[in-house]
Structure 1
Amino acid sequence: MSTRSASPDDSGAGETEIIRLPARRTGIIGRVSDYAIRTLDGDDVVEANTLFRAALHSRPSEAEHRAEVRAGYPAGRALGVLDGDDLVGTAMSFPSALAVPGGAVRSMAAVSRIAVRADHTRRGVLTMLQKHQLADLAGRGEVFASLRASEASIYGRFGYGVAERIRSITVRSAIARIRPTVPRVGHTRLVDQTRIDSLLPALYERIGLHRAGMITRPDELWRARFLGWRTSSDLIRTAVHSDADGTDDGFVVYRTAKDGSGFTSFLEVIDLHGATPTATRELWRFLLSIDLIDSIKVMMQAVDDPLEWLLTDRRAVEVTGVEDATWLRILDVPTALAARTYAGGDAVVIEVEDPQLPANSGRYRIDGEGAHRTEEPADLVMSVAVLGALYLGDVAPSALACSGWLTATDETVLARADRLFRTTIPPYCGTFF
């Protein structure tokens, strides 16, 4: 059992909260200066979660939910940095898999819950966590790591590159109507929130990874999501769409909250996935039909989503922002490059630099048939972070060359590289972790 001392005002999970773990002589996997790092297990992960929530200026989970918090941590995948017995930094990952261009799926670590205690920032704690986590994940044979960055300036130096962008939108419900010529297909129904634990994981798996950037959701990730939804102060509901044959093929989880002092509320989409464009369209038809909703907000929508094209008044959809989502770290460059497909055209040779995982460094020949190591002279030179940004097809090599992120021997090389890495649709993950 660990002990926790609250901040002086005893207000809960403040930045000054001190978390102490039981003293152990075993399990230490590294030391830097006064800090030790070890794998966390048992109740230690609950304390790690408390530290993470404190970094977000949130209170810890209630004591009654400790078992559920623990169940949201996969065994052996949480790290803690200690100053003596004080937990001052943490990071973890979920075992997942990533769909890449061409439809192949390869192993991926969904990195999450990274936190450093406020009085230990900028002392190398995050670097220590990242160094050991990357080595651990690569040692497990995982091909990719991915995370969502709270700050854009942090993770590039650890080999992560922005591989996917998302848009946020606000829909004015009063004028948002699906065009009458768009046929209604199937049926959308509300489901009991007590049933979603058994319903949604199977439905998400059935929907499948039909787009580059999508990821599998392990049980621990679902448990964490369900706990968050159950303990939310907002009213959360779930609707499921069935096709014309009665087969479930899409779902939406959303929350509603009062919009001022009147009768109307706003609705925020939390999680929406359809196996087909038709299923997604019909889920939107349902959302737009809900009475007393002034606006619908989506914080995580694909940048190419066609919602406005479905409506009689496309100006009912306001794009309120576009931001980075997937930060991709390639842990095994040869396997990653060989896994995805490339458009036809002449070959290019890229040189990849990866100081953290030097086995990745080297030259790779890429053409329409695939990719492999080579000793040929390099046409393009880039860091592993830049390769991560290029990998899913969200940004062209020429754009990164113009901004100084990679070097090319000449302009014709960039045209060839653009053609090879180009994809028909941009990547989209649709899962926050």
Structure 2
Amino acid sequence: MSEHPEVAIRVLESEGELRQAMALFRTAMVGLPAGPDYPEGRMGDYLEKGRTFGAFIDGALVGTVDATSGFLVLPGGERVPHAGVTHIGVLPTHTRRGVVTSLVRRQLQDARGRGEVVASLRASEATIYGRFGYGIASTSTTLDVDVRRATLRAGVPQGGPVRFVDYPDAWDLLERIYSEHVTHRPGRIERTSFWWASQRFRFSAVNGPVYVAVHGSAGGEDGFVRYRPENTGAWFGGRDRTIVVSDFFAPTAEAHAGLVRFLLSLDLVDRIVFDAVPADDPLPWMLTNHRDAVVRSVSDETWLRILDVSRALEARSFVGAGSVRIAVTDPVFAENTGVFEISADGVSTSSGPAQLELDVAELGSLLLGGVGCHQLAAAGRIEVHDRAALHVAEALFTWPLAPFAGTMF
């Protein structure tokens, strides 16, 4: 008897199978909070047609994965086709049987066949996806601000007007603001119609107050914040009244300052937890006492998989002197394996000897500029044949803005 029974992979299309896949995913994740049932006949609002795969053993659905089409911003501002991968799950009764491997490889092949340049995901476990060519390309920082002490420095921009908006009308406005203000920060991804539909659906099950405020005059809004209070049962008379900022979109310095000023001015609030901001967010530097904004945690955010190495490197901007020849190995796509010569003038394949060697996962970590070549070399993840080339590569791949997506999916 085979140790790993045959796994059959196919696209799930019917309403019933898509519902079964989502139920399977929740079972696989174990600890997701309970939520409402998806509306009848509406699975197409939440899952892109043709992008949900199911894994079957002996005719039974035992695993699933899906993705949505969009774009991702590379250093320099170029937007490339992107697959947002999510809902990877296998029934606990069928783990370690090659199901994940079959699902992920099929999905990667499908995404590359669609012409997508990169794929990304948020990893529930950090030890799974490296073997499929995913590398950590951005981090997310949680900031804890003591409102009782925090004051803004002189010279911080005033920002514009801020006003509250109410659900459900807020959703259309937030979607418009986000789509109209695409930033050049590496790692930003499109929030697709499927993402927004899922947000609306999940919000319908939220108990307790959630607030939305937007920055800018009516018709010219350019930023927003969503926040909620914690422990509302002990709010009145409490000494540590905390709000959690779950979505902070401020693509300009003016919008960032205006929304920060608004949050710091809220009465009956002692602490503000910014759940996810870039590593280089200016907030601590805006305060008279830098220590009034404490980094509570830093966690991996974007796990990036390069599907087409040539197109990804050609679309990215590089800044720095000199050139470097890098050998890339991709165990899934032979087309990606080769030597690439990189300089600020462009990228080309090369027949010359490699100065640095790395796997496609490590190149994914480098692509957005958030990880240093020296870091990976010191960790044994880049093989260095020419020490001087490592310094050249460091300068070429470095980018002034820290990569950050700011979107969970």
Smaller-chain TM-score bracket: over 0.9
Alignment of 1:26-425 (within 5 A): 33-43=5-15, 44-57=17-30, 58=32, 61-63=35-37, 65-179=39-153, 181-242=155-216, 247-258=220-231, 261-263=234-236, 264=238, 265-425=241-401
Q: Spell out, residue by residue over 1:270-303, the C-alpha distance to the aligned partner (whole angstroms, 9 max, x if none).
A: 1111230110111111112222223211221101
Letter in 2 for 1:35: V
The amino acid across from 1:40 in the alignment is: L
Q: CA deviation at 1:178?
A: 2.3
Of 57-66 and 181-190, more deviation after overlay is shown by 57-66
Conservation of the 8 A alpha-carbon contact between 2:159 and 2:257? no
Select between 195-204 and 149-158 the one with higher mean Cα deviation.
195-204
Give the drift of 1:70: 4.1
Q: In 1, are the aligned partners of 2:5 and 2:97 still within 8 Å (CA)? A: no
Amino acid at match of 2:394: D
- Structure with the bigger percentage of strand: 1
Gaps of 5+ in 2: none
Q: 1:68 touches 1:227 (CA, 8 Å); kept in 2?
A: no
Q: Which runs of 4+ in 1 moved over 6 A?
A: none
Deviations 1:51-108 (A, max 9, x none): 2222232366433634455411011011111223432111111111011011111001
Count matched residues: 401
Cα deviation digits, residues 244-281 of structure 1 (max 9, x gap): x9721101111223266241442111111123011011
Please tell me whether the aligned partners of residues 46 and 70 of structure 1 are also in contact (alpha carbons under 8 angstroms): no
Go from structure 1 to structure 2 and tell me whether the alpha carbon gap of 1:193 and 1:206 turns closer, same or farther (over 3 Å shift). same
Query: 2:19 is paired with a residue of what secondary structure?
Result: helix
Moved more, 95-104 or 249-258: 249-258
- Output the CA distance in 1 between the equivalents of 2:38 and 2:123: 30
Whole-angstrom CA distance in 2 between matches of 1:334 and 1:374: 12
Q: Is the 8 A contact 2:158 2:254 kept in 1?
A: no
What TM-score, normalized by structure 1, do the two folds share? 0.88
Match in the other structure for 1:23: none
Does the 8 Å CA contact 1:267/1:293 hold for their aligned counterparts?
Answer: yes
**Any conservation in 2 of the 1:349–1:366 contact (CA below 8 Å)?**
yes
For residue 36 of structure 1, what is the amino acid of its counterpart? A
Q: Given the two structures, how large is their TM-score scaled by the length of structure 2?
A: 0.93
Aligned-pair identity (%): 39
Cα distance in 2 for partners of 1:181, 1:339 equals 37
Q: Which moved more, 1:285-294 or 1:95-104?
A: 285-294
Letter in 2 for 1:255: R
Q: In structure 2, how many angstroms separate the alpha carbons of the residues matched to 1:105 and 1:123? A: 37
Distance in 1, matches of 2:64 and 2:34, equals 15
Deviations 1:132-177 (A, max 9, x none): 0111111111000001111111100000001111211211222223
Q: Deviation at 1:405?
A: 0.2
- What's the C-alpha RMSD, in Å, of the aligned pairs? 1.8
